[in-house]
Amino acid sequence: MYPRPPLRPFVTLRALIPALALSLAAGCVDTNPTEPIANEPNVPSTLRGRAVNVLGTVSVTNKNVTFNVWDSGQIDGDIISLNVNGDWVLENYTLGATKRAISVTLPSRGYSYVVLYAHNEGSLPPNTAALSINDGAREQNLVLSANLQTNGAYNLRVTP
């Protein structure tokens, strides 16, 4: 008997190239496989020993966002920190009437979060901070509230 020739692949590489190009264009193939993608809300249940109270979900269309934070009520000496996806992007900041801008790059799609941590409650508890999120297409205004037992948070969902 003669030896069998090696089996040929059913689909040739030449036939796969157009399909791969269409998949890339449609966003079906992950072009950045090292970027972690959270397909579900991922706010931690606690942060620095305090429970986290999720106040809602905000959708943005761009991964590059600018947060502005300020005291929109009576200026009473609130001191805060902001945590975005586990990173402290603002620490021990005393809120005032002037907006403080913080630029953040989120994962290109999926869920992220922002958590307000209160270092004090000012002279008028609880600690409240106005927070705007600008994704380049629109600006959304929120209010975060925290005290010495709980943190306030929002889910952020990037939907390009």
Q: Mean pLDDT of all residues in the chain?
A: 87
pLDDT value, residue 160: 86
Q: Report the share of the chain in percent with pLDDT over 70.
A: 78
pLDDT value, residue 79: 98
**Bridge partner residues of 98 (DSSP):** none
Q: Of 160 and 18, which is predicted with more confidence?
A: 160
Can you give the length of the chain in residues? 160
Residue 19, pLDDT > 90, answer: no
Nearest to 122 by CA among 80, 91, 83: 80
Complete DSSP assignment for the chain = -PPPPPPPPSS-HHHHHHHHHHHHHHT-S-S-TTS---SS----SEETTEEEEEEEEEEES-SEEEEEEE--S-----EEEEEETTEEEEEEEEP-SS-EEEEEE--SSEEEEEEEEES--TTSSSEEEEEEEE-SS-EEEEEEEE-SSEEEEEEEEE--
Residue 10, pLDDT > 70, answer: no
Give me the mean pLDDT over the 120-138 stretch. 96
Residue 62, pLDDT > 60, answer: yes
Q: Report the share of the chain in percent with pLDDT over 90.
A: 74
Q: How confident is the model at residue 32 (pLDDT cuts 50, 70, 90)?
A: low
Compute how many other C-beta atoms are within 10 angstroms of the C-beta atom of residue 142: 17
For residue range 77-120, list pLDDT tens digits in order: 999 999 999 999 999 999 999 999 999 999 999 999 999 999 99
Q: Of 72 and 138, which is predicted with more confidence?
A: 138
pLDDT value, residue 16: 47
